[in-house]
Amino acid sequence: MNDLALSIAQMAPTLLDVAENLARINGFMEQAVSSGSDLLVLPEMCLSGYGIEEATVDPGRRASLAKETNSAVARIRKESRRLGLDVLLSYPLFSRGRTYISAEYVSSGKKMALHRKINLCNYAHYREHLHFNEGNNPTLAWTARGVFGILVCEDVWHASNAIVETLLGAEILLVPSAPCVKENSAGPVSLSQWQTITRGTAFLQTAYLVMAARVGKENGNIFLGGSHVVSPEGEIISQLPLFEEALVQVQLNGRTIEETRGKRPLLRNERVSLYGRVFRKLCAASGKGGKGDK
């Protein structure tokens, strides 16, 4: 990969106010370009807010939200082309009667990749499985700036997702997220757990990892923030504050990937054929197939 300057926008979107969120995202895009960034990474569901359940149940509100979202995404693509800025954007995707938490990589106005969240969070105070559908594919964006693997929030807590994406060629893992707590006092523990996952993932997959988390409050949930960037050595090289909006730029050294993978060739030494046999057996035993997204 080439050297890369990226910005993380740790924003607090307004629930179901797509127009307001679009305006704020456009502002972040302008700031990112002004600071010399090549890529802006935004949090999970930044275009709509997180708790959209009621709007997905009512047919009229669902159709209206889908229309607003599609229009806003088109405008962000247009701004990406005008500014020469790549953007990682997350929004609700309505497709064939299903609703996905998605993340799209846009480069020069073009959709380079669209990821549907693979692992929905269905424990503690999360109930995503009641309102969203699961995606079924790992996602890579092959761009002139590098190869990006896309994982949304809970996806990175399941190690196989990052393993697959890096084996397929990912150099940087982009993780838009929306972790939340019920009390501010729970923030440091939650962030520590996240950093255990992200640092271990970056180290073992010899890849950069960019976790972009939202902030703000919705329906009794306090969104964590604490966005951070981890090097292929598992070191946190940039850290944003808990609970506060922030925008930060980080410089990634392209040579670091090659150097790290040269001295620690974990991906090259993976026994992929062994995993294939094991996962085929597990799929057969569970009765689950490998159907792709529609």
Kind plus residue range of the DSSP H or E element containing 165: helix 159-167
The CA–CA distances, whole Å, from 126 to 120, 132, 276 equal 9, 12, 31
Kindly give the confidence (pLDDT) of every residue in the chain, 294 residues in length, as a single tens digit, with 9 standing for 90 and above: 899 999 999 999 999 999 999 999 999 999 999 999 999 999 999 999 999 998 999 999 999 999 999 999 999 999 999 999 999 999 999 999 999 999 999 999 999 999 999 999 998 888 889 999 999 999 999 999 999 999 999 999 999 999 999 999 999 999 999 999 999 999 999 999 999 999 999 999 999 999 999 999 999 999 999 999 999 999 999 999 999 999 999 999 999 999 999 999 999 999 999 988 998 999 999 886 655 676
CA distance 99 to 294: 11
162 SS3 class: helix
Domain ranges of the chain: 4-286
DSSP state of 184: G
The CA–CA distances, whole Å, from 78 to 46, 51, 215 equal 18, 27, 26
CB atoms near residue 50 (< 10 Å):
24
CA distance 120 to 133: 8
Closest CA to 179 of 122, 123, 239, 223: 223
CA distance 44 to 156: 13
| pTM, 2 dp | 0.96
Closest CA to 209 of 184, 176, 242: 176
Question: Is 4-286 a CATH 3.60.110.10 domain?
Answer: yes
